[in-house]
Structure 1
Amino acid sequence: MGGHSAGAYIASMLALDPQYLADAGVDVSAIGGFIPVSGQVMTHFTVAKEKGIKRPAIYADAAAPIYHIQKETPPILIIIGGDDWPARLEENRYFVAAMRKVAQNESISLVEVPERNHGGILKEMASPDDPAAVASMHFMRTGELPADQLIKDY
């Protein structure tokens, strides 16, 4: 299960907050994995604004995937462009580190493609030789997470 941007946020919340899938009658163990692409892992700036939190504050509450880190999840493949929105790349790196170091979850991997912006990462994934597409297709076909990657040449 995956998505881009808001879809990645939804996929991340489904992966990390079991209540959403339980409410829909779905057991999270029935899902082979998650592929959030350019996802928001902190509380989205629109939600923060609605709560009266002004930028440039970075905020994480129950509306943020990072709030729900845990040890046991299906595999999660995070894909992000190196030129995504301000701090989105760093937030995703932090999310992966928090999952591994704080939650002790090793079922997560990060693929970072430099020189891709928020929309470009998705657009280029339509090419079969695109590194993000290759990583996601490998994961979907085998169920194996790739090693963390900083794609340098493509």
Structure 2
Amino acid sequence: MELIKPEIGLIVWQTVVFVILVFLLAKFAWRPILGLIKERESSINDALDSAEKARLEMKNLQASNEKLIKKAREERDEMLKEARTIKEKMISEASTEAEEKASKILANAQETIIAEKQAALAEIKAQVASLSIEIAEKVVKKELDSKEDQMKLVDSMLDDVKLN
């Protein structure tokens, strides 16, 4: 049983038809198909280039954002430093002002003490003068016969004055 017998004529015609088909495909189908493939390849390459550009742009934006964040932090640190300086200056000024006020109060208190001391000394002098006058009156009123009695009286009065 022979199922298939190869015939040379059939093989020749099949080869001729295949060559014609390949020729027709090459002339009418391959070029458009290759053109579409090249066009698709070009669009894929363009998309890849665009993606790469976008990636680089994102990298640049990220670097820019980091610079902005760094700058913002530096500005914040500078503002905090200025605030600390202002705070210290205000504390220093308040301390100086308080010291000046305390010095003025002390000076006023010392002046008041000196004035009161002088007033007290003036009063003591007035009392001493008045006591001296009283002693003189008593000495004059009392008649003393001898100088000895007068000296005893003056000594006793002086002792009285020292005790007070």
TM-score surpassing 0.5?
A: no
| Greater radius of gyration (CA) | 2
Which is richer in helix? 2
* TM-score where L is the length of structure 2: 0.12
Which is richer in strand? 1
* TM-score where L is the length of structure 1: 0.13
Greater relative CO, 1 or 2 (CA 8 Å, sep 6+): 1
